[in-house]
Amino acid sequence: DGGITQSPKYLFRKEGQNVTLSCEQNLNHDAMYWYRQDPGQGLRLIYYSQIVNDFQKGDIAEGYSVSREKKESFPLTVTSAQKNPTAFYLCASRAGARYEQYFGPGTRLTVT
């Protein structure tokens, strides 16, 4: 079955710790995206990657970092510099010739 997986579904961390969220896709999509969702807000773009070994900042990149070493994988690290990291994080991917994005099931991160 083709799709996007994100793990874990729920993640808990202490303040001051870095944490990495996983995103894997087997759709052979070139582009991948990370979004943050807060209550009452739409999705806000954190980082995106159009191709392996290349990525761009989105609208709210501060306090986050990414890598794209493989086409299938686009992990997101939430660093201790992110002031309000508790949120729901969604990963998405897109085929090169299409514009719609397909989403993973999301990771709920809670930092206390």
Binding site for another protein (CB under 8 A): 31, 33, 40-45, 48, 50, 56, 58, 88, 90, 92, 94, 99-103, 105-106
Question: Nearest approach, Cβ of 104 to another protein (angstroms)?
Answer: 8
Give the pairing type, strands 102-103 and 87-94.
antiparallel
Rounded Cα–Cα distance for residues 88 and 34 (Å): 11
Q: Which is nearer to another protein, 4 or 16 (CB)?
A: 4
**Shortest reach from residue 105's CB to another protein, in Å:** 5
Cα–Cα distance, 54 to 37 (Å, whole number) = 24
